């Protein structure tokens, strides 16, 4: 399969001689190789050597994420958010103006944006009415220029988990299957990380932006066959993960208990919010959620959106997306925020 993956990679990326950075070979010693400020830093922070370039291979962090996911460090790639992983995958595999990616829409918007920035064709296959992948249509959309198929599970913005067997049905496709598990911590479904050794064309993306409460540090990662990780390492900017981000991520990963507490609280709030919203006249239905947000079908989404905004409550209007007529996406907040939302919603005429 690594041959198959290699053949999917753009020829110029196969030929590329990557940038060789100073810190790949030596992380300590008398460091006079990288034109840093050897005297120190103007922003001393927690003993982190901010005057030094960070480890380009993120050795400690990848080791830690590998343990967390039960894989080996060479099966982990770390990006500036999952958004960087998405962008790099498109740039590694898709020849602008020639190749295509397949999306199961409505879904997270960055897959399309990353492809369109690269002038890569997006083949959109709508989810079924119960927001599941239309497997025959997805496979039917594949041609010999298809490089990536994105599946987001649990899916943003529909909030449901995609059927595992539907994703696994793509194993035989000659393309890379990217499964985005950004919201996995909030779901009851098993992760697909365990499948990467059976399915060498599978990339599972995770992020610290959601359950771990670290959207501000920009850290996402991919778990995949080492061959795919090597391609990602080859094209990434040499020092993509900065020292502050790496340090915060490592401290967070030692604090898994706090993450689990957050998840438990969010699940309690999600159930409460869902029940309350369902009883509101301006709400037609609240979709089941396996995420930290709710998809809410209103009688008039635009009007609800505007009325909430006037009261300083900001939600996301998804009503222009296919199959999401009159739908708003609402993040589960603190209990106080959720009460404010419900109070505001009660004042809106149906
Ligand atoms: C499905 C999905 N994937 C990825 C991301 C972005 O993750 P990151 O913050 O790691 O770039 C989001 C953010 O909303 C998302 O909804």
CATH number at residue 45: 3.40.640.10
* CATH number of the domain to which 276 belongs: 3.90.1150.10
102 in the same domain as 41: yes
Q: Cα(110) to centroid of ligand 1, in Å?
A: 8
Q: Which helix H or strand E contains 180, and what residues bound it?
A: strand 176-180
Q: Cα(249) to centroid of ligand 1, in Å?
A: 16
209 in the same domain as 90: yes
pLDDT in tens, 237-251: 999 999 999 999 999
- Rounded distance, CA 298 to CA 93, Å? 40
Q: Out of 206, 231, 254, pick the residue that ends a domain.
A: 254
Q: Which two tokens stand for residue 191?
A: 């992760």
Q: Each residue of 269-306: b (16+ CB within 10 Å) or e?
A: bbeebbebbeebebbbebbebbbbbbbbbbebbeebbe
- Rounded distance, CA 210 to CA 185, Å? 9
Is the CB–ligand 1 distance for residue 83 below 6 Å?
Answer: yes
285 in the same domain as 243: no
Tally the residues of the chain.
350
For the chain, how many structural domains are there in total? Answer: 2
Q: Which two tokens stand for residue 318?
A: 């998804």
- Rounded distance, CA 195 to CA 223, Å? 10
Q: Which helix H or strand E contains 221, and what residues bound it?
A: strand 220-224
286 in the same domain as 195: no
Sheet holding 293-298, edge to edge: 283-286, 293-298, 327-331, 316-317
303 in the same domain as 181: no
97 in the same domain as 227: yes
CA 204, 209, 210, 211 dihedral sign is: positive
Is the CB–ligand 1 distance for residue 207 below 6 Å?
Answer: yes
Q: Which helix H or strand E contains 5, and what residues bound it?
A: helix 2-8
Q: Out of 254, 289, 320, pick the residue that ends a domain.
A: 254
Q: For residue 2, what pLDDT is reported?
A: 67
Q: Give the residue ranges of DSSP H helices in 142-282.
A: 164-168, 226-235, 243-253, 256-278
The three-class DSSP label of residue 286 is: strand
Mean pLDDT for all residues in the chain: 96
Is the CB–ligand 1 distance for residue 215 below 6 Å?
Answer: yes
- Rounded distance, CA 244 to CA 50, Å? 8
268 in the same domain as 233: no
Instruction: Work out whether strand 293-298 and strand 100-105 pair parallel, antiparallel, or are unpaired.
Output: unpaired
Q: Cα(219) to centroid of ligand 1, in Å?
A: 10
Q: Cα(265) to centroid of ligand 1, in Å?
A: 21
- Rounded distance, CA 237 to CA 250, Å? 21
Confidence label for 44 from pLDDT (cuts 50, 70 and 90): confident
DSSP for 15-59 reads H--PPPPGGGT-SSSS--SS---TT--SS-BTTB-TTSPPPTT-H
Examine the pLDDT at 1 and tell me if it is beyond 70.
Answer: no
Q: Which two tokens stand for residue 236?
A: 């990434």
Atom number in ligand 1 closest to CA 219: 10
Is the CB–ligand 1 distance for residue 156 below 6 Å?
Answer: yes
Confidence label for 152 from pLDDT (cuts 50, 70 and 90): very high
pLDDT in tens, 159-192: 999 999 999 999 889 999 999 999 999 999 999 9
Q: Cα(188) to centroid of ligand 1, in Å?
A: 19
Ligand 1, atom 12: closest residue by C-alpha: 182
> Across residues 191-200, what is the average pLDDT?
95
228 in the same domain as 100: yes
Is the CB–ligand 1 distance for residue 108 below 6 Å?
Answer: yes
Examine the pLDDT at 3 and tell me if it is beyond 90.
Answer: no
Q: Which two tokens stand for residue 201?
A: 């064309």
130 in the same domain as 18: yes
Sheet holding 146-152, edge to edge: 76-79, 220-224, 202-207, 176-180, 146-152, 100-105, 121-126
Q: Cα(49) to centroid of ligand 1, in Å?
A: 29
128 in the same domain as 13: yes
Examine the pLDDT at 52 and tell me if it is beyond 90.
Answer: yes
Please name which of 140, 93, 138, 133 lies closest in space to residue 115, comparing C-alpha atoms: 93
112 in the same domain as 90: yes
152 in the same domain as 99: yes
Show the domain range for 305: 257-346
pTM equals 0.97
Q: Out of 254, 288, 311, pick the residue that ends a domain.
A: 254
> Across residues 261-282, what is the average pLDDT?
98
Q: Which two tokens stand for residue 327?
A: 């739908």
Q: Is the peptide bond before 157 cis (omega within 30 degrees of 0)?
A: yes
Report the residue among 78, 83, 185 best suited for mutation to probe ligand 1: largest number of ligand atoms under 8 A from its CB.
83
């Amino acid at each position: 399969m690594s041959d198959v993956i290699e053949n999917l990679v753009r020829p110029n990326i196969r030929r590329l001689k990557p940038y060789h950075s100073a810190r790949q070979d030596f992380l300590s010693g008398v460091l006079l190789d990288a034109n840093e400020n050897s005297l120190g830093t103007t922003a001393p922070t927690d003993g982190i050597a901010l005057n030094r370039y960070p480890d380009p291979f993120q050795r400690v962090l990848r080791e830690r994420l590998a343990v967390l996911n039960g894989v080996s460090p060479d099966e982990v790639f770390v990006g500036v958010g999952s958004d960087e992983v998405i962008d790099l995958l498109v740039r590694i595999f898709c020849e602008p103006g020639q190749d295509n990616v397949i999306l199961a829409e409505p879904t997270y918007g960055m897959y399309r944006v990353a492809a369109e920035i690269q002038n890569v064709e997006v083949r959109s296959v709508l989810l079924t009415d119960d927001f599941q992948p239309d497997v025959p249509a997805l496979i039917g959309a594949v041609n010999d220029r298809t490089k990536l198929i994105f599946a987001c599970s649990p899916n943003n913005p529909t909030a449901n988990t995609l059927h595992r067997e539907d994703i696994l049905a793509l194993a035989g496709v000659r393309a890379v299957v990217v499964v985005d598990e950004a919201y996995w911590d909030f779901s009851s479904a098993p992760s697909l990380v365990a499948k990467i050794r059976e399915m060498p064309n599978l990339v599972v993306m995770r992020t610290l932006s959601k359950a771990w409460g670290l959207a501000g540090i920009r850290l996402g990662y991919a778990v995949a066959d080492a061959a795919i990780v090597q391609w990602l390492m080859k094209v990434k900017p040499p020092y993509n993960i900065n020292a502050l981000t790496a340090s915060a991520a490592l401290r967070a990963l030692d604090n898994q208990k706090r993450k689990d507490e957050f998840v438990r609280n969010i699940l309690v709030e999600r159930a409460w919010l869902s029940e309350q919203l369902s009883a509101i006249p301006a709400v037609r239905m609240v979709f089941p959620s396996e995420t930290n947000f709710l998809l809410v079908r209103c009688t008039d989404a635009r009007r609800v959106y505007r009325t909430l905004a006037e009261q300083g409550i900001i939600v996301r209007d998804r009503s222009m997306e296919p199959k999401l007529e009159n739908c708003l996406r609402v993040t589960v907040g603190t209990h106080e925020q959720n009460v404010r939302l419900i109070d505001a919603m009660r004042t809106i005429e149906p």
